[in-house]
Structure 1
Amino acid sequence: MDPTSPFPRLAGNADASVRPALPHDAAEIARVQLVTWRTAYRASLPAAVLDDWDAGAATARWRSAIDSPPTPGHGVVVALERNALVGFAAYGPAELTAGEVADPAGPTAELGTLLVEPRWGRRGHGSRLLAAVSDLVRADGAARLQTWLIETDRVSAAFLESAGWGPDGWARTLDTGGEPLREIRWHALLDDPDATPREAAP
């Protein structure tokens, strides 16, 4: 445990770790989100989303998500390189897609986002974040973890595949105000020993 904080370090070592997010992390989380989106998703996301970014509003949204999550099953964790916040992940209970039936194996949790600032990539931060989220939702009773990826996001797809994840056959198209954005759903069974993140990119 970090002796300066009441929150446990969920994964890592002296130089790199993951812990629950704190309200004062909100501004850095918003900054990492913008930098990563502008670097990795410039060709996919609408220009207005990136160019008209409201840092104050984004910070307020993340502070609310940390301080007043919508349910006890929602949470945010952050990755640290020494004392620098370099990435984050948000998760919560999954909502059923239209026409989908509940998984008989147990509840499903959803990884809403997992981002590591590009300059801190390939140091295992993404793997530690994914492992921490998996452990947290498994402890809450989830049997499965899912996430939605932009269809053209080959880097994230390769990362999840290396961690034992795979597409589950569901897809959706989002109206972004510009070109429609198609997403593919990926998942992992949490009792599957192959679905254990490795210390790899991102």
Structure 2
Amino acid sequence: MAHDHPHPPGPLADASVRTARESDAPAVGLVQATVFREAYAGVLPGEVVDGFEPQAFASAWRRSLASPPSGVYRLLVACAGEQVVGFASIGPSQDPDASPETGELSVLGVHPQARRSGHGSRLLNAAVDTLRGAGAEALSTWVLAEDEATRAFLMTAGLHPDGAFRDRVVSPDGTTAREVRLVADITAPPPA
């Protein structure tokens, strides 16, 4: 007996990137806490890592989304279907040596269970497109020196170290974490 299917079978969930809404803050907070706990384990004292709470991150994002700063600051979210699985925050570079045409990827994170599905690449592409649309010609980001996986991902995407580094105080006892800066030219290629 033949069965007529009104819709051909296909993927159950779609993948997308969009600008975050206030209602996304709890999901972004959960992803950020999970990603930060993983990234900073062994780098920061345990009590600092234990302080990476989803609710605290969610509250900060909710405030930022409710009253966004002026300019090209954006919080982008990667979704698997309707579920937020990653996020990227962008804005103008805060580095004193940056030109006014330099945009910054201040944070990029994808939940460990959603990695290797293209979400990080989609977030990075959306960040570049958004910054380029706002007039940026360069992109910079800071990465933990010990985070080889994130650095490798970004370098494969075309960013490269420019030699700059900083040691950030990351705990009340003065513990520091070294970060290295990666940069890329994001001017649109000339038409063929």
Alignment TM class, shorter chain as reference: 0.7 to 0.9
What one-letter code is carried by the residue in structure 1 that aligns with 2:31? V
Distance in 1 between residues matched to 2:23 and 2:110, nearest whole Å = 18
Aligned to 2:154: 160
CA deviation profile, 1:149-199 (whole Å, cap 9, x unmatched): 011110011101110110112111111235321110001110265xxxxxx
Aligned to 2:88: 89
The answer (yes or no) to whether the contact 1:46–1:176 under 8 Å persists in 2 is: no
Change (3 A) 1:55 1:162: closer
Distance in 1 between residues matched to 2:185 and 2:45, nearest whole Å = 33
1:185 aligns with 2:144: no
What one-letter code is carried by the residue in structure 1 that aligns with 2:39? A
Point out where structure 1 has 5 or more consecutive residues left out of the alignment: 1-13, 194-202
Q: Give runs of aligned pairs for residues 120-131 of structure 1, distance below 5 A.
A: 120-131=114-125
Identity of aligned residues (%): 41
Distance in 1 between residues matched to 2:27 and 2:42, nearest whole Å = 24
For residue 91 of structure 2, give the secondary structure of its aligned residue in structure 1: strand
CA deviation profile, 1:12-38 (whole Å, cap 9, x unmatched): xx6100000000000110000111122
Q: Give runs of aligned pairs for residues 40-189 of structure 1, distance below 5 A.
A: 40-97=39-96, 100=97, 102-103=98-99, 107-177=101-171, 178-189=174-185
Aligned to 1:25: 24
Query: Number of matched residues?
Result: 175
**Per-residue deviation at 1:73?**
1.3
Question: What root-mean-square deviation, in Å, do the aligned CA atoms of Structure 1 and Structure 2 show?
Answer: 1.7
The answer (yes or no) to whether the contact 1:65–1:76 under 8 Å persists in 2 is: no
**Per-residue deviation at 1:48?**
2.7
Distance in 2 between residues matched to 1:141 and 1:175, nearest whole Å = 32
What one-letter code is carried by the residue in structure 2 that aligns with 1:49? V
Point out where structure 2 has 5 or more consecutive residues left out of the alignment: 1-12
Q: TM-score, normalised by structure 2?
A: 0.85
Distance in 1 between residues matched to 2:39 and 2:178, nearest whole Å = 16
